[in-house]
Amino acid sequence: MNSVVVGAAIIRGGRVLAQQRAHPPSTAGRWELPGGRVEPGEDDRAALARECLEELGVRIVVGDRVGPEVDLRPGLVLRIYQAALDPPDGVPHPHDHQAVQWLGPSDLDTVDWLEADRIVLPDLRRHLIPPPPA
């Protein structure tokens, strides 16, 4: 059975929250969706809620899967789930990361994503709506 890493596509106002890695050195400065490993006895959704509280200091409501399951290495897969902040006006803080940023559909290609997250961008883009005209 595969071990699982879960990621949250936290969407608010047509934008998704991305976080910039601080470590390890090989991935520092690159961007990813929040999340982490599913612990023994934990389901995907509970793990994702725990990870977002630990990493960002926010509570989330986890929705449906987004995109394909991504093989990270033999025996380890990534699953991305759509999520929303609870309460909706929660403010994420980068406790373990360099920065967080809300990205709209036109911003997704402006940051250096980790390869695994890059795979789900086409599916993620369909969940984002362009901002209303100013």
Question: pLDDT tens for residues 2-17?
Answer: 899 999 999 999 999 9
Question: What is the rounded distance in angstroms from the CA atom of residue 94 to the CA atom of residue 91?
Answer: 10
pTM of structure: 0.92
pLDDT of res. 132 = 64
In the DSSP assignment, the letter for residue 113 is B
CB neighbour class for 67 (10 Å; exposed up to 12, middle 13-18, buried from 19): buried
How high is the pLDDT of residue 95?
86
> Is residue 64 over pLDDT 90?
yes
CA dist., res. 35 & res. 15, Å (int): 17
What sign has the CA pseudo-torsion 113, 81, 36, 119? negative
Write the pLDDT tens digit of every residue in 78-131. Answer: 999 999 999 999 999 988 889 999 999 999 999 999 999 999 999 999 999 765
Q: In terms of DSSP H, where are the helices of 1-133?
A: 44-56, 115-125
- Average of per-residue pLDDT across 60-84: 96
Phi/psi at 23 (5° precision): -160, 165
> What's the pLDDT score for residue 57?
96
Which domains, from first to last, does the chain contain?
A: 3-125 (3.90.79.10)
Q: Give the model's pLDDT for residue 80.
A: 98
Contacts 24+ apart (CB under 8 A), 42-45: 44/4, 44/6, 44/79, 44/81, 45/81
